[in-house]
Amino acid sequence: MTQLSKIRNFSIVAHIDHGKSTLADRLIQSTGTVKDRDMKEQLLDAMDIERERGITIKANTVRIDYTAEDGEDYVLNLIDTPGHVDFAYEVSRSMRAVEGSLLVVDSSQGVEAQTLANVYQAIEANHDIVPILNKIDLPASDCDRVAEQIEDVIGIDASGAIRVSAKTGVGIKETLEAIVKELPAPKGTRDAPLKAMLVDSWYDAYLGVIVLVRIMDGVLKKGERIKMLSNGSVHHVDQIGVFRPEMQMIDELGPGEIGFLTASIKQVRDTRVGDTITHEKKGTDQALLGFKPSQPVVFCGLFPVDNSEFEDLREAIDKLSLNDASFSSEMETSAALGFGFRCGFLGLLHLEVIRDRIEREYNIELITTAPSVIYHVFLRDGTMNPLHNPADMPDLTHVDHLEEPRIKATILVPDEYLGDVLKLCQDRRGIQMDLTYAGSRAMVVYDLPLNEVVFDFYDRLKSVTKGYASFDYQMTEYRQDNLVKMSVLVNDEAVDALSTMVHRDRAEARGRAMVEKLKDLIPRHMFKIPIQAAIGGKVIARETLSAMRKDVTAKCYGGDVSRKKKLLDKQKAGKKKMRQFGKVDIPQEAFISALKMDG
């Protein structure tokens, strides 16, 4: 049992690659929480994908014991959070479980778009913020300029910002002292009824569902019966523990503490992130303010390459949605691909990560259909239907108009690349709303259609700015526009996995690029294959894949030309007949590559 005044709960927030995970490593190492021989880089990033890509995807927690300079022993609960906009939901959840934040800013790069987005979340959660200037060992580091930038752009006092090099270990002692002195202790009453917040949950093959909790009031002990307020399910607590990054079992968790519990929960759906946990008897009936559920932004279909793996895919998706509350799914069927799921994601990186995790952790090969966003289809009878999948578009005679989602995008970019960025946004049907300067960097605010951002806007933005631009967005509204459904026909049959919604003005260019790409990707068959892009009944682009042919005239030498013609006509008639009954196999790579296009 730790006294409330001796606990500090905090999270580390920053832009991508500003050194959050490295700082967490140093804090863990310098307090001796992990022995030097067990230490490795990105200690808290447990997933292979996180270590490979060098990014944090899941917010991870660790408990550190620290003896301060005043001789008192403190317990620090650290949560390392992701930096990418796709995982902003993880960050907002972590914020609710703690009272303070360390704001890490790279002293060579300065304030970036994601720094702003994450700081605003911390301010919304009423956090005390300690600014930290990292990477002071770099020759390009300029602490005074960045401290001034923090004050100008964010508006918090950075005069006492701690100067740190997480790589070499400079300033780590000062950081620990600042956590103890400047961040507040948690509040809570030991004798009140139990009130705990469910911060995260994930599936473990041996222990079942593991639940990460933050105790607000009361005490949670091993062997008690607990109740989830959102659905009333009751469970028996088997084990309670804390992470020092490894699990360490303890007997009870008091107010202000962060730990985990296992309660042989079999059903993944029983644990909702943001739920309130209390005792079955003498519990509280007041739920804590939950998190607002995240809105999926990008939708795409996931289908198993081998249809017999459908049940395995369902199980994999169930277990992943337990671990990741921002991922949603529902069943769907497709003529070309069989049974699968239509899944909602917070962005394309999120989509890639989930796909990689299913393929690695559950060994299921997947086909991914074109990412799409939700459109609102207004019918002539005045009703509105949401459209998740372009293949389900109703007949145009019944449709009055379509509305598409728009976003407000904030882009921070160095001066010399501003022209390229403005051109890119104009090409994507953007409307410029604001342009301001912070030092030598421009901050552009654009109103963009989400449909254009989903495909590869982020990749293009990074390439035109040599990786210097940072980008952050939020959904604003739905607005009417001239949108049409473009379908792709292969051998006169529509391939529903390749149909997309496009703007009328850009349909021709998009269709042409798509069919040219497919022509290179589909292998040649024994008969001629037309590949067409069409809007309704009107074909807007076509390529023809020629047939593989045997040289039937090889046995003719000399003689009249009509003999050769006769043989060629006979071959042509055979090919024509073949085409009527032939089936075209579109390889899996063709689906994925065709969707990545957009020069």
- Which pLDDT tens digit goes with each residue over 198-207? 887 777 777 7
Beta carbons of 340 and 317 less than 8 angstroms apart: no
pLDDT at 248 over 80: yes
Question: By C-alpha distance, which of 90, 14, 78, 11 is closest to 274?
Answer: 90
Question: By C-alpha distance, which of 7, 21, 17, 18 is closest to 132?
Answer: 18
Rounded to whole angstroms, the Cα distance separating 44 from 415 reads 36
* Boundary of a domain, candidates 354, 371, 388: 371
Residue 336 is predicted with a pLDDT of 67
57 phi and psi, to 5 degrees? -110, -45
Residue 42 is predicted with a pLDDT of 55
Same domain, 467 and 516: no
Q: What is the mean pLDDT of residues 579-592?
A: 69
Residue 599 is predicted with a pLDDT of 40
Q: Is the dihedral of CA 152, 153, 156, 158 positive or negative?
A: negative
Residues whose CB falls within 8 Å of the CB of residue 64, separated by 6 or more in sequence, listed in order: 27, 28, 31, 33, 75, 76, 77, 78, 244
The H or E element spanning position 204 is strand 195-204
Same domain, 490 and 567: yes
Rounded to whole angstroms, the Cα distance separating 320 from 351 reads 12
Q: What is the mean pLDDT of residues 237-266?
A: 84
DSSP state, 154?
A: I
Burial 545-557 (b: 16+ CB within 10 A, else e): bebeeeeeeeeee
Residue 596 is predicted with a pLDDT of 59
pLDDT tens, 399-433? 888 888 888 888 888 888 889 999 998 888 889 99
Same domain, 389 and 366: no
Same domain, 493 and 476: no
Q: Count the domains in the chain.
A: 5
pTM of the model: 0.66
CATH number for the domain harbouring residue 367: 3.30.70.870
Categorise residue 61: left if φ over 0, alpha if ψ from -120 to 50, beta otherwise. beta
pLDDT band at residue 37 under the 50/70/90 scheme = low
Residue 287 is assigned to a structural domain of this protein: no
Q: Is the dihedral of CA 409, 323, 16, 53 positive or negative?
A: negative
| Most confident stretch, 60-69, 317-326, 415-424 | 415-424
pLDDT tens, 153-196? 777 887 778 888 878 888 888 888 888 888 888 888 888 888 88
Q: What is the mean pLDDT of residues 466-495?
A: 82
Same domain, 80 and 154: yes
Residues whose CB falls within 8 Å of the CB of residue 539, separated by 6 or more in sequence, listed in order: 489, 532, 533
Q: What is the mean pLDDT of residues 431-450?
A: 85
pLDDT at 523 over 80: yes
pLDDT band at residue 49 under the 50/70/90 scheme = low
Half-sphere exposure of 157 (CA within 13 A, CB side): 3
Question: By C-alpha distance, which of 277, 81, 251, 294 is closest to 197?
Answer: 277
Same domain, 227 and 347: no
Rounded to whole angstroms, the Cα distance separating 237 from 249 reads 12
pLDDT tens, 262-306? 887 766 566 777 778 888 887 777 777 766 666 677 778 888 888
The residue range of the domain holding 51 is 4-182
Residue 591 is predicted with a pLDDT of 67
Residue 285 is assigned to a structural domain of this protein: no
CATH number for the domain harbouring residue 61: 3.40.50.300
pLDDT band at residue 318 under the 50/70/90 scheme = confident
pLDDT band at residue 86 under the 50/70/90 scheme = low
Residues whose CB falls within 8 Å of the CB of residue 176, separated by 6 or more in sequence, listed in order: 27, 30, 31, 66, 68, 76
| Most confident stretch, 45-49, 108-112, 266-270, 487-491 | 487-491
User: In whole angstroms, how far apart are CA 65 and each of 78, 242, 485, 550?
Assistant: 11, 12, 59, 78
Residue 597 is predicted with a pLDDT of 52
Matching residue, tokens 């089936």? 583
Residue 588 is assigned to a structural domain of this protein: yes
Which neighbouring-strand residues pair with 329? 343
CATH number for the domain harbouring residue 423: 3.30.70.240
* Boundary of a domain, candidates 454, 480, 506: 480
Same domain, 218 and 166: no
Residue type, 533: A
Query: What tokens appear for 118 in the block?
Result: 């994450």
Residue 181 is predicted with a pLDDT of 85
Residue 595 is predicted with a pLDDT of 61
Rounded to whole angstroms, the Cα distance separating 56 from 98 reads 19
pLDDT at 52 over 60: no
Greater pLDDT, 534 or 459: 534
Rounded to whole angstroms, the Cα distance separating 332 from 340 reads 5
Question: By C-alpha distance, which of 224, 499, 485, 492 is closest to 377?
Answer: 485
Same domain, 50 and 103: yes
Average pLDDT, the chain: 80
Residue 43 is predicted with a pLDDT of 55
Residue 63 is assigned to a structural domain of this protein: yes
CATH number for the domain harbouring residue 538: 3.30.70.2570
Same domain, 347 and 256: no
Question: By C-alpha distance, which of 10, 14, 51, 39 is closest to 164?
Answer: 14
Residue 430 is assigned to a structural domain of this protein: yes
Q: What is the mean pLDDT of residues 484-500?
A: 83
Rounded to whole angstroms, the Cα distance separating 302 from 289 reads 34
- Give pairs for 427-430: CB < 8 Å, separation 24+: 428/452, 428/453, 428/457, 429/481, 429/503
pLDDT at 589 over 70: no
DSSP state, 206?
A: T
Question: For the chain, what percent of residues have pLDDT higher than 90?
Answer: 2
Same domain, 367 and 418: no
Residue 108 is assigned to a structural domain of this protein: yes
* Boundary of a domain, candidates 337, 353, 371: 371
Tally the residues of the chain: 599
pLDDT at 51 over 80: no
Same domain, 529 and 505: yes
Angle at which helix 507-521 crosses helix 588-595, to 10 degrees, equals 150
The H or E element spanning position 90 is helix 88-97
Per-position DSSP letters for 513-548, written without gaps between them: HHHHHHHHHSPP-SS-EEEEEEETTEEEEEEEEPPP
Residue 286 is assigned to a structural domain of this protein: no
- Maximum Cα interatomic distance, the chain, rounded to a whole number of Å: 108
Residue 284 is assigned to a structural domain of this protein: no
Greater pLDDT, 310 or 79: 310
Same domain, 476 and 488: no
